[in-house]
Copies of this chain bind each other. A is one copy, B any other.
């Protein structure tokens, strides 16, 4: 490091103390405006760069937040939805003079309950966990003393702060919309034993059926993935409903491809709605009517929570739901 100008260098040139330089550069009281101005100008001239590390040392804060994404959510398979969320997170963090350090949690570490090195090296002041992790890993994470926030999933334990989309309500409104369009035989696509968001979306769908006095027909509930989360070939029932609620856009895409192959046209023969409004929503033909997850809002909540918890560790927010927004396209047909 050659170009290493410190506050002391500036102080020496001006014949003042480094304390005064510190105050001036941080716009704190205790320096005359005149001197402050002089110092700022000289700092600029000398190409001074603030050393955030020193402040960190003093305060015991790294000003970094670790963002943990399980590797199965970070790959191509999931359309990097989570990477887009990560991007929003870093943007919000930056506006608070914080930075994100991404940690992809690989399956081996998850199984062996290995915490990321950024934890062991005190490189971060807290963790945002983005995407469902195993029960055991949740417990491991809980055991550490740093603030943490779960994003896009939650655990039955009430004492962990989490930010999730309002899956229940979104699916409920989606199903209502189908019913408004005359549909009475409505199926659901998603493995109910896979993730909590699939479950919640299912329950929202179910509530809408109940409210409208419609029977839940079990042959209309289709599996979309196996227990490891890998997508499987969707089995189309002999007896078809007039519409499907899919748990996500990618699955809707898979479903529509499958239906098309069987000569079933969407939306003419069968309507389809889904969740996420990711690339699959527009890539699919017809475009999908879907619930858009409010990524910005979720990221913003998660960041605000974690920063509040760093400042005051007694703060607690519980489970916070972020409402989605229906985006209308052409995958639903009015019938009846």
**Residues of A bordering B, CB below 8 Å:** 1-4, 49-54, 56-57, 60, 62, 64, 74-76, 79-80, 83-84, 86-87, 90-91, 94, 97, 99-104, 117-123, 145, 253, 257, 278-279, 283, 285
Contact = CB atoms under 8 A, between A and B. Distances in A.
A74 B89 CA distance: 13
Given A3-B145, A56-B53, A102 B87 contact: yes
Nearest to A77: B279
Nearest to A59: B1
Contacts of A117: 94, 97
B84 A84 contact: no
A52 to B, nearest CB: 4
B121 A49 contact: yes
A279 B121 CA distance: 36
A81 to B, nearest CB: 9
Nearest to A125: B1
Q: Is the interface of A mostly helix, strand, loop or mixed?
A: mixed
Contacts of A278: 76
A62 to B, nearest CB: 6
B76 A102 contact: no
Given A100-B101, A253-B283, 18 more contacts: A1-B60, A4-B60, A50-B120, A50-B121, A51-B122, A52-B121, A53-B53, A53-B56, A53-B62, A53-B122, A64-B101, A74-B87, A75-B84, A76-B278, A83-B83, A94-B117, A100-B102, A257-B285
B91 A104 contact: yes
A87 B83 contact: yes
A87 B104 contact: yes
Contacts of A283: 253, 283
A91 B80 CA distance: 16
A54 B52 contact: no
A145 B2 contact: yes
13 contacts: A3-B145, A51-B121, A52-B122, A53-B56, A53-B57, A54-B57, A64-B101, A75-B84, A76-B84, A87-B104, A94-B117, A100-B102, A283-B283
A112 to B, nearest CB: 16
B104 A123 contact: no
Contacts of A103: 90, 94
